Structure 1
Amino acid sequence: MTKITILGATGFAGSHIAAEAASRGHELTLLSRSTPQQPPAGARVIKGSVLDGDVLSQVLDGAEVVVGALSPRGDMEGRVSDAYADVAARLAGTPTRFLIVGGFGSLKDEAGERIVDTDAFAPEYKPESQELFAAYQRVSATDVDWTYVSPAGTFGSFVPDQTRRGEYRTGGDAAFYDADGQSVISGPDFALAVVDEIEAGAHRREHISFAY
């Protein structure tokens, strides 16, 4: 059993990771600005903001793994990078792992260019993706035991098929695709991959990605 704190626990990625981790018997602390409608049994639920220093101290205390699943939207727009830098500073000098759920745009294309910086990337999503990549740049420059995880290009609550197949592939910081040229993963299978990484610790201080 691992003591896991999830920041942004009611979001799409965070809620799926919480459910997967709980199903394996891990001890959870869930932080979000809204109360989860159906939190996993036994989870400690803290309602508050990661921007509140006292709240952040409370949820980080005793954590063996911290999962950052914040979305740079609403009052977190333009503030996720700062929030994660604060978390990293608080974890400095400790053995606590810090896994950040980033974006597909942080990956590189076949030419080695960061996808968010290409013309192919949808302009309306660039600010969010750039914010998450800025978080990667800041946290990866610290001595914290970090892992930055990018989901597939098609990932989120807007995807109709959220089936848990029980499978996924792991890549590095370059985007990869299935036989049909698609980059897809469901919420449950992304969570499966993240919790597998928490348990195995196979990719420390690496930028990795999960897709089918």
Structure 2
Amino acid sequence: MAKLVIFGGTGYAGGKIGAEAVRRGHEVVGVARNAGSAPEGVDERQGSLHDEEFVTGLAKDADVFVVATPARAIDGKKLIEAVPSLARIARENDVRLSFVGGAASLLVAEGGPRLFDTPEFPAEYKDEAGSHAEVLGLLREQPEGLDWFYVSPAAEFGAWTPGERTGAYRVGGDVLVTDENGKSHIGGDDFATAYVDEIEQPKHHRARFTVAY
């Protein structure tokens, strides 16, 4: 079994991934700025991924880091500011680094624009979307010694559309995955299933992939 450290372990995506990993028998540490609402079976710690000493301590016996935090600035710090230290610590401790990303940096079609570059994309989400895209870009610049993966959920994903567990999902690369009606969506439990499947059976190394129905 693996030991996962989930930054943002009490959030929607992080909580779902933690619960799924515990369900499968993995050891899970859930990190949050404000502790108190981690899923059952998760060892909750209060701390920040911007605290290098704290992160280094967590890396000592970890197998995978899961970063499931917003990318926009929180308390004056953006996620991308922590990526260099996270990458270095993960590389030095042989920890696989992974991120719950956004869908907006996916192409709407092969060779087409990114979702957040389309006229229809809501302006209020562009800061978060652009910040996630910057994180992915920086990951792609990291040295070969770092094993990482970045998962973009479908366009419709979140606590506002939790769905029901089906055990099924489809995997894509850099292009948005849609169903026969043109809808791109994934439920929280099935997203977590796909994420933990990648941890248990790695297929994407130093790559972004997306999951949807």
Q: Which residue number corresponds to residue 208 of structure 1?
A: 209
Shift of 1:56: 1.7
What are the Cα deviations for residues 72-116 of structure 1, in whole angstroms up to 9, with x where unaligned? 356256511112232012122443211111000111122432222
RMSD over equivalenced CA pairs, Å: 1.6
What are the Cα deviations for residues 144-186 of structure 1, in whole angstroms up to 9, with x where unaligned? 1011110000000111x53111111111111120011100111
Distance 2:94 2:113 in 1: 33
Q: Which residue number corresponds to residue 160 of structure 2?
A: 158
The one-letter amino acid paired with 1:81 is: I
Unaligned runs of 5+ in 1: none
Distance 1:76 1:117 in 2: 27
Evaluate the alpha carbon distance shift between residue 199 and residue 5 of structure 1 in structure 2; reply closer, same or farther with a 3 A threshold: same
The one-letter amino acid paired with 1:210 is: V
What are the Cα deviations for residues 47-67 of structure 1, in whole angstroms up to 9, with x where unaligned? 112122222222222111111
Q: Which residue number corresponds to residue 172 of structure 2?
A: 171
Contact 2:198 2:204 survives alignment (8 Å): yes
3-state SS, counterpart of residue 130 of structure 1: helix
Contact 1:185 1:211 survives alignment (8 Å): yes
- Of the structure 1 ranges 47-56 and 196-205, higher mean CA displacement relative to structure 2 is found in 47-56
Distance 1:189 1:85 in 2: 30
TM-score of the pair, normalised by structure 2: 0.92
Evaluate the alpha carbon distance shift between residue 204 and residue 193 of structure 1 in structure 2; reply closer, same or farther with a 3 A threshold: same
The one-letter amino acid paired with 2:192 is: A
Q: Which residue number corresponds to residue 81 of structure 2?
A: 82
Q: Which residue number corresponds to residue 101 of structure 2?
A: 102
Contact 2:59 2:95 survives alignment (8 Å): no
TM-score of the pair, normalised by structure 1: 0.92
Unaligned runs of 5+ in 2: none
State percent identity of aligned pairs: 37
Q: Which residue number corresponds to residue 186 of structure 1?
A: 187
- Of the structure 1 ranges 201-210 and 29-38, higher mean CA displacement relative to structure 2 is found in 29-38
Evaluate the alpha carbon distance shift between residue 38 and residue 195 of structure 1 in structure 2; reply closer, same or farther with a 3 A threshold: same
What are the Cα deviations for residues 11-51 of structure 1, in whole angstroms up to 9, with x where unaligned? 1100000000000011111111122425332x322111212
Distance 1:50 1:95 in 2: 17
Distance 1:78 1:107 in 2: 24
Evaluate the alpha carbon distance shift between residue 104 and residue 184 of structure 1 in structure 2; reply closer, same or farther with a 3 A threshold: same
3-state SS, counterpart of residue 70 of structure 1: coil
3-state SS, counterpart of residue 104 of structure 1: coil
Runs of 4+ aligned residues of structure 1 deviating over 4 Å after TM superposition are: none
Report how many residues are paired: 210
The one-letter amino acid paired with 1:63 is: A
3-state SS, counterpart of residue 174 of structure 2: coil
